């Protein structure tokens, strides 16, 4: 029992070491983190994983005291899961080649080929790539989350499918090793407990590399998010404190000092709040109510410039949505786009609607105006710095889980809607005053 457990630990240790060594390669990471790969990239990605696995097979065949080095099953399955069916098949062929040609283990080739193909099928039926990166040997740790997920989406059990496939392949591997000991290699468990340990060791050998690579992926995403946040802050600062903006704002304040001193004082406070917010460090996520407060400060100055008759703002904010966490400085660039590209082009000004909702575990944010709008072929508003930055930040933070939709037509206004996965709520604070 103890020797068998040591053999399984050696397998897992080799997989951890291999995954950690591979992720240090810049070239491997370039292939690993792509959602879509061309044929050349798939071949290189397969070789990066398959060649070490083939070397372990050679070690097992030549150093008989190191029989546990063989990682054929998890290696072939992992390639298929990460890169698709044909990559899995190619990986299975490469991994099993030493045993097939050098050791005359004729059954190793079809088995590894099938394992790689099965991994590719599991990838194809996965809901999205994020689900693959979230694969864990622990299906759910909290009973409530376990029940909620299955009540909301009863066929969400993609992870359970992976467990089932890997368990089935491991049982086939054990049986083939018993029936054809000369033509196929497998560790041979003697008890039920050893069989159970071997089943879970196979799952861990697939899950551990994914976790190692996902940790590096998340670190890269956070670094990219920091870069984009700094770029957004500097871009907003450049736009907001340019001489034209300051000139108009200070002019508005000067004209109000004698006739409406309280309002002039309020505008000075709003301006200082904007500058302070732009210059200070930000968290990646903030409660929506805090983001709304920042937009309110910005709009207070725009209202002073345009006049309350020219620019009207309406808020429709669901109370529960105000505590949801959203990316910092998400809405202000969109609101500014509405004013600059929509309302400022109309002599009579216009109206802006800012809405927030919680629905089906998602946060829905929308900014709509009744301004000039833009044609489908007009990319000035769709691909401006503000919206491009927002779109890229959403991609980095949420991947395919976040959506940004733009609806517009010339003369019919524009609407930008953002759908975000709901993040754990922040502590409640004083509600904004729309």
Q: Distance (Å, rounded) from C-alpha 208 to C-alpha 204? A: 6
Task: Check: CB of residue 82 under 8 Å from CB of residue 45.
Answer: yes
Closest CA to 315 of 285, 345, 291: 291
Q: Which residues of the chain have pLDDT under 50?
A: 140-143, 154-155, 241, 376-381, 425-434
Cα distances from 414 to residues 69, 366, 410, 424, in angstroms, run: 61, 10, 9, 31
Q: Distance (Å, rounded) from C-alpha 181 to C-alpha 164? A: 25
Residue with tokens 């990219």: 224
Residue 273 has a pLDDT of 81
Closest CA to 162 of 202, 129, 213, 192: 202
Tell how strand 285-287 and strand 325-327 pair up.
Answer: antiparallel
Residue 154 has a pLDDT of 44
Query: Which phi-psi region, left, alpha or beta, contains residue 95 (left: φ > 0; alpha: ψ -120 to 50)?
Result: alpha
Q: Distance (Å, rounded) from C-alpha 286 to C-alpha 272? A: 20
Residue 426 has a pLDDT of 40
Q: Residue 187 carries which DSSP code?
A: -
Contacts (Cβ under 8 Å, ≥6 apart) of 118: 77, 80, 88, 165, 169
Cα distances from 92 to residues 110, 222, 252, 309, in angstroms, run: 8, 34, 71, 70
Residue 142 has a pLDDT of 43
Residue 190 has a pLDDT of 87
Tell if the pTM clears 0.75, that is, is over it.
Answer: no
Residue with tokens 């392949």: 169
Tokens of residue 95, six digits: 């991994």
Closest CA to 278 of 314, 318, 219, 231: 231
Q: Distance (Å, rounded) from C-alpha 390 to C-alpha 231? A: 11
Q: What is the tally of helices (H) and strands (E) in the chain?
A: 16, 7
User: All domains of the chain, ordered by start, with CATH?
Assistant: 2-219 (no CATH), 282-421 (3.30.565.10)
Residue 239 has a pLDDT of 56
Residue 292 has a pLDDT of 92
Contacts (Cβ under 8 Å, ≥6 apart) of 160: 139
What b/e sequence results for 237-262 when a residue is b if at least 16 CB atoms lie within 10 Å of its CB, and e otherwise?
Answer: eebbeeeebeeebeebbeebeeeeee
């Amino acid at each position: 029992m103890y020797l068998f457990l040591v053999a399984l630990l050696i397998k897992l240790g080799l997989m951890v070491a291999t995954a950690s060594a591979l992720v240090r390669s810049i070239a491997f990471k370039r292939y690993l983190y792509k959602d879509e790969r061309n044929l050349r990239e798939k071949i290189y990605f397969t070789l990066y994983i398959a060649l070490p696995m083939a070397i372990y097979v050679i070690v097992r065949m030549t150093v008989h005291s190191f029989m546990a080095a063989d990682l054929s099953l998890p290696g072939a399955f992992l390639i298929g899961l990460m890169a698709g069916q044909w990559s899995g098949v190619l990986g299975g062929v490469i991994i099993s080649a030493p045993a097939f040609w050098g050791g005359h283990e004729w059954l190793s080739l079809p088995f590894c080929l099938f394992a790689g193909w099965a991994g590719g099928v599991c990838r194809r039926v996965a809901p999205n790539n994020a689900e693959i990166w979230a694969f864990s040997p622990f299906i759910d740790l909290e009973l409530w989350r376990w029940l909620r997920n299955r009540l909301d989406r009863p066929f969400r059990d993609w992870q359970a499918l992976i467990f089932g496939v890997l368990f089935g392949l491991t049982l086939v591997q054990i049986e083939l090793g018993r029936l054809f000991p000369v033509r196929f290699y497998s560790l041979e468990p003697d008890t039920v407990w050893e069989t159970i340990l071997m089943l879970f060791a196979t799952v861990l050998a697939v899950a551990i590399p994914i976790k190692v690579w996902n940790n590096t992926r998340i670190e890269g995403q956070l670094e990219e998010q920091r870069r984009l946040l700094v770029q957004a802050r500097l871009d907003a600062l450049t736009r907001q404190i340019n001489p034209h903006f300051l000139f108009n704002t200070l002019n508005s304040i000067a004209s109000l000092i004698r006739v409406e001193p309280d309002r002039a004082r309020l505008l000075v406070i709003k301006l200082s709040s904007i500058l302070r917010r732009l210059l200070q460090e930000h968290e990646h996520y903030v409660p929506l109510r805090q983001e709304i407060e920042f937009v309110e400060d910005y709009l207070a100055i725009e209202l002073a410039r345009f006049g309350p008759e020219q620019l009207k703002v309406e808020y429709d904010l669901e109370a529960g949505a105000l505590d949801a966490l959203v990316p910092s400085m998400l809405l202000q660039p969109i609101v500014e786009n509405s004013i600059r590209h929509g309302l400022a082009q109309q002599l009579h000004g216009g109206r802006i609607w800012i809405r927030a909702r919680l629905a089906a575990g998602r946060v829905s944010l929308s900014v709509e105006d009744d301004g000039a709008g833009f044609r489908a072929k007009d990319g000035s508003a769709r691909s401006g710095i503000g919206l491009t930055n927002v779109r890229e930040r959403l991609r980095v933070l949420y991947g395919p889980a976040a959506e940004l939709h733009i609806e517009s037509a010339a003369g019919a206004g524009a609407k930008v809607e953002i759908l975000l996965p709901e993040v754990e709520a922040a502590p409640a604070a004083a509600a904004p005053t729309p």
